[in-house]
Structure formats: structure tokens, C-alpha cells
Amino acid sequence: TGPARIAVIAGDGIGLEVVPAAIRCIDAVREVHGVELEWRELDWGSDYYRANGRMMPADGLDLLARHDAIFLGAVGDPSIPDTETLWGLLIPIRRRFEQYVNLRPARSLPGIPSVLRRDDPIDLMIVRENSEGEYSEIGGRYGRGLPSEAAMQETVFTRTGIARVARFAADLASTRSGRVTSATKSNGIIHTMPFWDEVVEQTLEGYPAVQLRSILVDALAAALVLRPWTFDVLVASNLLGDILSDLASAVTGSIGVAPSANLNPERKHPSMFEPVHGSAPDIAGKGIANPIGQIWSGAMMLEHLGHPRAAAHLVTAFEASLASGVMTGDLGGTATTEEFVVSVLTNIDALAAEHTTVE
């Protein structure tokens, strides 16, 4: 079968800094574990857009289809509307490759001062629906500039779409605490949410060992700040899951640490691994971005490709850096991206014996 082929799109802003940083760390664990990967770097993004009037080549998705995974940094440039950049690259990839699960872990990491008043360990998995819901393509903007100008969009939920993401959440919960929390808003005048609740509930009936609780998302947001350690697997619609995942990672310390996997669980198409955060134009080019979200996304990719030991080695290494007090500014530290990476590389070496003997 040969080495796994990885398409790399660093993209924009801090993506251009954290992606090479993460690749150095992945290459280091890869060597220890004899994992072969073939990186193919693609210069797609906002600079490509400025030169070519599009975010990727016309046959870009076909090219990606010939890879085993996609490793993405971030997309978004202050001088180009997000409707061009995100809708021209990120969203089409998620759609074309039926990456209907966006898996976003959030957990306490060593050495990070909690923004909360308690230190109970947080360990939750957000399972975000990633293909439909509030992110539908039905609707638009009408009568631009007129007093009657309007914008509208249909939220589209399908039985198939809800059931498959609910199944993923239930399967995941079965390997963990056995508890699923579903984010809802069925008390508002939102016709789609009672349907979401119904299908989630029906799906979970097939999992007698899994306990389901639906919580109104406004109260859930508050509970995630007040007692995040009480949650395990959270399943949410596209927009609600987007918001909750930034919230959950911020509660663990910074959105700079949060990883994500855009999964096509059937493995019919490549999955995509990218941090939860965006291109962070406010700190781009300064060399101070936290690379953990990108490195951890790389660990999720290694795991997905069948290399759990290399993945665990990588995670243990950046945790060891944090535990020794090396951290970037978003976590209250003084390390640059480069200093953090050097520390991770040192820890990969230091932990190599331990990680190769544990079969």
C-alpha cells in the first residue's frame, strides 16, 4: 500500500506558522515508530486567491481525493471576505468528502492555569454535525442596498444526517463514560430542533447502555463554564457545535490548543485534520502562535491512519512541555512557537524509549 499520502494546506495567517511546526513534530515521532507518510504541500489559500482569483485550482478537490488525509492550518484573510475564502476552500472540502462528523476534544492539560476556580479534570468530546443544519446552502441575500433588502437561510436537517452523527456520538460514548449530552434549542420557535431531539432520541434507543440527556443550549453554555467536568460526549448541530467547541477549549485554557478531525467515518473519502482556531490575523507573522491545536490535530491524524502509539507519543511530548512550564503567550507563558516546538522535539526524544517499549 505504501506510505499514506497527506495533502497539506497551511492556508493563511498563523496556519503558515503552526503547520510547519506541527510537521516537524510529527516527523520526529514518525521516525521513532517507523511510520511512513508522504507530505504534499499545496500553496492554496488567500495568496493563491490574490494571484488566481480562486482559493484552489478548479480540479483541487479531485487532487485531494487522491490522498489518504488532509492536514489543514487555517483559512481567512482580513482583506478578503470570508464568503470567498472559507466558502472557496474549507467548506467545499468538508462537503465533497462527506466529513459529516467534526470531532473536537477538549480536555485539561498539565500546567495550564485554569480560568475556572476549580481544577476538576475536563475531558469532553464534542461531536459536531458538519454537513448540514444551519450551514445549508438554501437562501441568500436579496435586493442589495434596497430598504427591502433581506437575507435568509433555511436550516436543513435530515433524518439520515442527524441519525448518523448521533450514532457516531453513541459509539464514542460506549467506549467512554456511556453518557451523551445533546445540545438543543427546542423551546425556541425553531422547527428543526424538536426534529433533532426526536431523531437523536430514536437513534440512542439502539444503545441501551448509553444514557442520553438533552440540554437547551443556552443553559448548556453556562453549565460548560460552571462545571465542564460533568460532561463527556456532547453531540450538537453544525452551528451550536461550532460555538460550543470554542467555548469548551477556552475553558481548558485557550482556543490555541484545540484540535479537530473532520471525519468521513465510512472512510470512503479522505478525512481532514485541522485546529479549531482560525488564521488569527491579530498575531499572525509574530511567531507567537500556540502550535498545540495543530500538533494535536496531527496526533488525531496519526491515530486515524492506524498509528496510535505514534499519536500517543506526540501528545505525551507536548504535555511534558506544558508540564515543565514551557507555554506560549495565550496560556500566560513567554515561549515563542519555535521555542515550544524545540521543547516538544526534545521531549519526543526523551520519551522515545518509553513509547517504543510499550506495545
Are 18 and 80 in contact by the 8 Å Cβ rule? The answer is no
Which residue among the candidates 48, 49, 135, 207 is catalytic per the annotation?
A: 135
Measured from the CB atom, the residue of 125 and 327 that comes closer to ligand NAD is: 327
Least distance (Å) between residue 20 CB and ligand IPM: 21
> Per rule CB under 6 A, is residue 12 in the interface with ligand IPM?
no
Binding residues for ligand NAD (CB under 6 A): 14, 74-76, 82, 86, 90, 255-256, 274, 277-283, 289-290, 293, 330
Choose the one of Mn ion, ligand NAD, ligand IPM, none that binds residue 282, judging by a C-beta under 5 to 8 angstroms depending on kind. ligand NAD
> Per rule CB under 6 A, is residue 86 in the interface with ligand IPM?
yes
| Number of residues counted as binding ligand IPM (CB under 6 A) | 5
- Neighbouring-strand partners of residue 284: none
Q: Is residue 48 flagged as an active site residue?
A: no
Which residue among the candidates 43, 119, 218, 349 is catalytic per the annotation?
A: 218
Choose the one of Mn ion, ligand NAD, ligand IPM, none that binds residue 279, judging by a C-beta under 5 to 8 angstroms depending on kind. ligand NAD
CA distance 88 to 355: 41
Choose the one of Mn ion, ligand NAD, ligand IPM, none that binds residue 256, judging by a C-beta under 5 to 8 angstroms depending on kind. ligand NAD
Per-residue x/- mask for ligand IPM, residues 208 to 247, rule CB under 6 A? Answer: ----------------------------------x-----
Within 8 A by CB and 6+ apart from 305, the residues are 4, 35, 37, 68, 69
Measured from the CB atom, the residue of 98 and 242 that comes closer to Mn ion is: 242
Query: Hunting for cell 451550536 — which residue is that?
Result: 240
Are 57 and 45 in contact by the 8 Å Cβ rule? The answer is no
Are 196 and 237 in contact by the 8 Å Cβ rule? The answer is yes
Cα separation values, 198 from 185, 203, 301, Å: 12, 9, 33
Are 26 and 314 in contact by the 8 Å Cβ rule? The answer is yes
Query: Which 256-295 residues touch ligand IPM, going by CB under 6 A?
Result: 276, 278
Which residue among the candidates 12, 48, 185, 330 is catalytic per the annotation?
A: 185
Measured from the CB atom, the residue of 45 and 278 that comes closer to ligand IPM is: 278
Measured from the CB atom, the residue of 18 and 276 that comes closer to ligand IPM is: 276
Q: Is residue 62 flagged as an active site residue?
A: no
- Neighbouring-strand partners of residue 123: 107
Measured from the CB atom, the residue of 102 and 347 that comes closer to ligand IPM is: 102
Are 95 and 64 in contact by the 8 Å Cβ rule? The answer is no
Write out the H or E segment, with its range, that includes residue 162: helix 159-174
Which residue among the candidates 12, 68, 77, 242 is catalytic per the annotation?
A: 242
Are 79 and 45 in contact by the 8 Å Cβ rule? The answer is no
CA distance 15 to 277: 10
CA distance 17 to 288: 9
Q: Tell me the three cell numbers of residue 234.
A: 456532547
Measured from the CB atom, the residue of 68 and 242 that comes closer to Mn ion is: 242
> Per rule CB under 6 A, is residue 180 in the interface with ligand IPM?
no
Write out the H or E segment, with its range, that includes residue 220: helix 217-226
Q: Is residue 82 flagged as an active site residue?
A: no
Q: Is residue 27 flagged as an active site residue?
A: no
Choose the one of ligand IPM, ligand NAD, Mn ion, none that binds residue 283, judging by a C-beta under 5 to 8 angstroms depending on kind. ligand NAD
Least distance (Å) between residue 72 CB and ligand NAD: 7
Q: Is residue 246 flagged as an active site residue?
A: yes
CA distance 273 to 275: 7
Cβ neighbour number for residue 285 with a 10 Å cutoff: 11
Sign of CA dihedral 93, 95, 99, 101: positive
Least distance (Å) between residue 356 CB and ligand NAD: 30
Write out the catalytic residue numbers: 135, 185, 218, 242, 246
